[in-house]
Amino acid sequence: MATTLRGATLVATGIFLSRISGFLRVSVFAHYFGNSAAADAFNAAMRIPNFLQNLFGEGVLSASFIPVYARLDAEGRKEEASRLAYTIFSFLVLLVASLVGAGIVATPLLIGLIAPGFTGERQVLAILLVRIFFPATGLLVLSAWCLGVLNSHRKFFLSYVAPVVWNAAIIAALLLFGHNEQAALAIYVAYAAVIGSLLQFLVQLPSAIKILGRVRLQIVFDTFVNEVLRNFLPVVIGRGIVQISAYFDSLLASLLPAGAVAALGYAQMLYLLPVSLFGMSVSAAELPEMSRTIGSDEQYHQLREKLRVGLERIAFFVIPSATVFLLFGDIVIGVLLESGQFRRADSVYVWATLAGSSVGLLSVTFGRLYASTFYALKDTRSPLRFAIVRVVVSIASGIPLALYLPPKLGLSAAWGVVGITLASSLGGWMECLLLRRSLCRRIGKVNVELKRIMLAAVLAAAPALAIKSLSDFKPMLMVAFVVVPFGIIYLTTARWLAVAVAVELLDKIRRRLLKR
């Protein structure tokens, strides 16, 4: 338990630092681009190569490669583990190089598919940006391979803090070339993203090589490689299906008035912070440990306990995060983004978009850990089936909520972006419930204490909401008088209600203070 807690803490710390740099990047980007047509083109362009990164990156390698590699390492079969790792690396190099080359050639067709609402200069700029972004995507997939190796050896921090250099490269380009008009600036920033991707890969590569020994670029098919590849295909398909949902969100947003695609991108930047910080950190730390327990007589008991602790830890942080996004999102967005071309009206618009995503925040973070448990059990097909359901539900509900509901309510078509995020939340909850039901049938019921956590969030939100309604301060002061008190009241109330994570956290803080 201590090992996974330390691992989750290291992952969360690395992610926190990378996300802070990401917030700074988005804040500087918003200063120069706002909710402009160039911002739409940039955000839409990033989605296409990001599809490849998500398809063949961390999630897929975590599900297919880490369980097999971690098991070999736990059994002391170092040579076979090293050969497996380098074979997968060689396979990824060939696969990604082919896909990047094909993607650059087919970019005009891809833009027509992902953003059919783009025309004229916005379309031309998006096509150029996609072609620049594609090589960066290939480098980030190879960076994910490094992450898989390092995570398997419980070296969590470096891989999750590495994106800081990617963000730094983009921020530097924005500051250096910010005097240019927006289309030219977008091109400079895209090239900076390629440089940042190379740096992110190179930062991790020496540590991975040190673990694995001499570099061997070869593809040797054996039992273990075949097992990874068998797991690889269902996970790739599952990730691809989930990416279809993200693609569809972008497609719908491109049909809305200018600014919708950018607003969706800004909202997702915030929404992904708790997903990565809490959902990903716990899942990433637990997967290698879960994989090492497979084969023991008490594996189901161990898995249930690991799952229960992980879910409660996720809920303790995600529930207040969702509450802040829903009730105080305008304050957070105002502090981070209001500057230059990004104005107060933009903050309210992005807040509404973020609120739709926040409804499904807990389901998505829970779903990550449920899926990791299936992967540890060598079952990659069950998450695939439920991912299909998620996409179907999101698409089926997204069209009416985004395109038809706003006019019925007398609202501008631009507010359809809120329907997009609400539909994604609905699909996320459906997937989460199906994952939970199937997993409980397999390993037994997992009891998670949520009522006291939710009660603590409600009790903390009430006074903070009252202060907000009676105040009219600048966003920075509102954070001090609204968001910070919410966090303090939530933590102390959760401790008073004997929420296990709060008790553990505050006791640890108290012990460290006493040592000083």
485: exposed, middle or buried (Cβ count in 10 Å: 0-12, 13-18, 19+):
middle
Q: Return the pLDDT at 140.
A: 82
Classify the C-alpha dihedral 295-300-305-309 as positive or negative. positive
Whether residue 50 is contained in a domain is answered as no
Alpha carbon distance 430, 386 (integer Å): 8
Poorest-pLDDT segment among 12-16, 338-342, 410-414, 463-467:
12-16
Asked whether 195 and 169 are in contact (CB, 8 A), the reply is yes
Same domain, 490 and 438: no
Q: Return the pLDDT at 480.
A: 86
What average pLDDT does the segment 47-65 reach? Answer: 67
What's the domain range around 244?
2-31+55-448
Same domain, 313 and 455: no
Q: 461, 451, 420, 416: which is closest to 322 by C-alpha?
A: 461
For residue 168, is pLDDT > 60? yes
Poorest-pLDDT segment among 80-89, 112-121, 131-140:
112-121
Q: Return the pLDDT at 11.
A: 64
Asked whether 212 and 149 are in contact (CB, 8 A), the reply is yes
For residue 297, is pLDDT > 50? no
For residue 5, is pLDDT > 60? no
Same domain, 459 and 399: no
Looking at 392, 425, 448, the residue that finishes a domain is 448
Q: Provide DSSP, 38-106.
A: HHHHHHHHHHHHHHHHHHHSHHHHHHHTHHHHHHHHHTT-HHHHHHHHHHHHHHHHHHHHHHHHHHHHT
DSSP-based helix, strand, coil % in the chain, nearest 5? 85, 0, 15
The DSSP 8-state label assigned to residue 466 in this structure reads H
For residue 486, is pLDDT > 80? yes
Alpha carbon distance 386, 437 (integer Å): 11
Q: Which token pair is 472? A: 């009219």
Whether residue 385 is contained in a domain is answered as yes
Whether residue 48 is contained in a domain is answered as no
Asked whether 491 and 357 are in contact (CB, 8 A), the reply is no
How many domains does the structure of the chain reveal?
A: 2
For residue 53, is pLDDT > 80? no
Same domain, 457 and 425: no
pLDDT band at 369 (very low <50, low <70, confident <90, very high): confident
Q: Which of 232-246, 283-297, 492-506 tops mean pLDDT? A: 492-506
Q: Which token pair is 382? A: 């069950």
Return the higher-pLDDT residue of 358 and 159.
Answer: 358
Same domain, 137 and 241: yes
Looking at 448, 473, 499, the residue that finishes a domain is 448
Alpha carbon distance 48, 25 (integer Å): 20
Same domain, 170 and 141: yes
For residue 6, is pLDDT > 60? no
Place of tokens 């398909």: 237
Q: Is this structure's pTM higher than 0.85? A: no
Q: In the chain, what percentage of residues exceed pLDDT 90?
A: 26
Whether residue 49 is contained in a domain is answered as no
Q: Which token pair is 67? A: 């369980």
pLDDT band at 425 (very low <50, low <70, confident <90, very high): very high
Looking at 425, 448, 471, the residue that finishes a domain is 448
Estimate to the nearest angstrom the gap between the alpha carbon of 382 and the chain centroid. Answer: 21
Same domain, 328 and 443: yes
Alpha carbon distance 229, 87 (integer Å): 11
Whether residue 322 is contained in a domain is answered as yes
Q: In the chain, what percentage of residues exceed pLDDT 70?
A: 86
pLDDT band at 61 (very low <50, low <70, confident <90, very high): low
What average pLDDT does the segment 158-187 reach? Answer: 89
Same domain, 312 and 371: yes
Q: Provide DSSP, 282-323.
A: HHHHHHHHHHHHTTSTTHHHHHHHHHHHHHHHHHHHHHHHHH
Whether residue 13 is contained in a domain is answered as yes
Reported as type and span, the H/E element at residue 359 is: none
Same domain, 65 and 116: yes
For residue 423, is pLDDT > 90? yes
Same domain, 64 and 168: yes
- Tens of pLDDT, residues 11-52: 667 777 777 888 788 888 888 887 787 888 888 787 766 666
Asked whether 251 and 116 are in contact (CB, 8 A), the reply is yes
pLDDT band at 114 (very low <50, low <70, confident <90, very high): low
Whether residue 46 is contained in a domain is answered as no
What average pLDDT does the segment 283-294 reach? Answer: 58
- Dihedrals φ, ψ of 504, to 5°? -60, -45
The DSSP 8-state label assigned to residue 342 in this structure reads B
Whether residue 44 is contained in a domain is answered as no
Q: Return the pLDDT at 436.
A: 94
For residue 428, is pLDDT > 90? yes
What average pLDDT does the segment 453-476 reach? Answer: 88
Same domain, 454 and 415: no
Alpha carbon distance 69, 243 (integer Å): 26
Q: Return the pLDDT at 188.
A: 94
What average pLDDT does the segment 243-262 reach? Answer: 80
Alpha carbon distance 300, 305 (integer Å): 9
Q: What residues contact 6, with CB distance under 8 A and at least 6 apart?
A: none
Compute the mean pLDDT over every residue in the chain, rounded to the nearest whole number: 83
Same domain, 264 and 354: yes
